[in-house]
């Protein structure tokens, strides 16, 4: 993390960087909740709410990149979201296509590396191809790691990891005793990335909803009340400042610094 950038961030908000803390997270995860309620408030269709949510998304990605944060994970579509009305599912699928069509050039130009978390095989062909192409095109980029969870479930991700490890054991490449926390991390979609430091869920709901359960083990949680389409860069900065003031002890004591 760029020290100058961190100091600048606090100064911009007229606050001194809190001593010992004040760091920006390396990895932010966001559950973008409240599109439906926003639509209801504005007497619009749920699909229109999701569309408005995509607008918020663009700004948040830009700001994350500007701040020099290493990784951003966004929960766009869970394995449970297929249960929603067909019209809403279709609207979300269309939004995925529209989002990449309009954003991919800028993201690539900004050196953003896109990774899709989730089972792409379970998606309609157009969406699968679009997501694969985004990953292929930006695969060599070295800037912000932008993880977009589509058809994602954390338990399914863990089952996949366990199956891969079991297969290695069956082939005699590893022994059960070789299995470590790191090995499990290396079999998750987010392999090679830092763990989540800050999890944000908008709309006041306080649940993980099967999102990055392993990666969130020591994350700080912030639950702003604002609905996702109303989540501005200012709101985001408020969450980042809240994170910067937290004591993170990872089960240790503050004095020991562990």
Q: Least separation, in Å, of the C-beta of 66 and ligand FPP?
A: 19
Mention every residue, 6+ apart, whose C-beta is less than 8 A from residue 199: 28, 29, 30, 31, 208, 211, 212, 216, 219, 220, 221, 222
Residue 13 CB, nearest distance to ligand FPP (Å)?
Answer: 26
Query: For residues 228 and 243, which CB has a smaller minimum distance to ligand FPP in the complex?
Result: 228
Cα separation, 251 vs 78, whole angstroms? 31
User: What are the two backbone dihedrals, phi and then psi, of residue 116, each rounded to the nearest 5 degrees?
Assistant: -95, 125
Closest CA to 169 of 178, 160, 157: 178
Number of residues lying near ligand FPP (CB under 6 A):
19
- Residue 188 in contact with ligand FPP, rule: CB under 6 A: no
By CB under 6 A, is residue 244 in contact with ligand FPP? Answer: no
From 27, 28, 54, 197, residue interacting with ligand FPP (rule: CB under 6 A): 54
Q: Which of these is catalytic: 2, 33, 66, 247?
A: 33
Please confirm, yes or no, whether 33 is among the known catalytic residues: yes
3-state secondary structure of 219: coil
Using CB under 6 A, which of 25, 28, 30, 33 touches ligand FPP?
33
Residue with smaller CB distance to ligand FPP, 9 or 130: 130
Q: Which of residues 93-112 bind ligand FPP (CB under 6 A)?
A: 95-96, 99
Residue 226 phi, psi (nearest 5):
-60, 145
Q: How far apart are CA 26 and CA 110, in angstroms?
A: 18
Instruction: State the nearest-atom distance from the C-beta of 100 to ligand FPP, in Å.
Output: 8
Of the candidates 244, 208, 228, the residue with the CA atom closest to the CA atom of residue 19? 244
> What's the half-sphere exposure (Cβ side, CA atoms, 13 Å) at 217?
9
Instruction: By CB under 6 A, name the one of 26, 37, 58, 128 that touches ligand FPP.
Output: 37
Among the candidate windows 88-96, 161-169, 193-201, 230-238, which touches ligand FPP by CB under 6 A? 88-96
Q: How far is Cα 221 from Cα 198, in angstroms, rounded to an integer? A: 6
- Alpha-carbon distance of 118 to 78, in angstroms, equals 8
Cβ neighbours, 10 Å, residue 140: 9
53 binds ligand FPP (CB under 6 A): yes
Out of 25, 29, 36, 244, point to the residue binding ligand FPP (CB under 6 A): 36
Please say if 216 is a catalytic residue: no
Alpha carbon distance 172, 17 (integer Å): 51
**CB of 202: closest distance to ligand FPP in angstroms?**
9
User: Binding mask 117-156 vs ligand FPP (x if CB under 6 A, - otherwise)?
Assistant: -------------------------------x--------
Q: Mind telling me the catalytic residues?
A: 33, 81
Interface residues with ligand FPP (CB under 6 A) are: 32-37, 50, 53-54, 57, 76, 81, 92, 95-96, 99, 148, 203, 228
């Amino acid at each position: 993390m760029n020290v100058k950038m961190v100091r600048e961030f606090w100064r911009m908000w007229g606050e001194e960087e809190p001593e010992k803390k004040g760091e920006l997270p390396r990895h932010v995860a966001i559950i973008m909740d409240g599109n439906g309620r926003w639509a209801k408030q504005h007497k619009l269709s749920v699909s229109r709410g999701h569309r408005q949510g995509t607008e918020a998304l663009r700004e948040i990605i830009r700001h994350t990149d500007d701040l020099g944060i290493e990784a951003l994970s966004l929960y766009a579509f869970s394995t449970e979201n297929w249960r929603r009305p067909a019209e809403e599912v279709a609207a979300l699928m269309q939004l995925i296509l529209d989002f990449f069509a309009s954003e991919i050039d800028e993201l690539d130009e900004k050196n953003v590396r896109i990774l899709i978390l989730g089972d792409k095989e379970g998606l309609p062909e157009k969406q699968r191809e679009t997501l694969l192409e985004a990953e292929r095109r930006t695969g060599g980029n070295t800037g912000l790691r932008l993880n977009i969870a589509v058809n994602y479930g954390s338990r399914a991700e863990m089952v996949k990891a366990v199956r891969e490890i079991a297969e290695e054991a069956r082939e005699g490449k590893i022994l059960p005793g070789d299995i470590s926390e790191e090995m499990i991390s290396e079999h998750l979609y987010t392999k090679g990335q830092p763990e989540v430091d800050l999890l944000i869920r908008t709309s006041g709901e306080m649940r993980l909803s099967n999102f990055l359960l392993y990666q969130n083990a020591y994350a700080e949680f912030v639950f702003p009340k604002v609905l996702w389409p109303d989540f501005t860069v200012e709101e985001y900065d408020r969450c980042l400042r809240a994170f910067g003031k937290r004591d993170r002890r990872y089960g240790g004591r503050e004095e020991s610094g562990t």
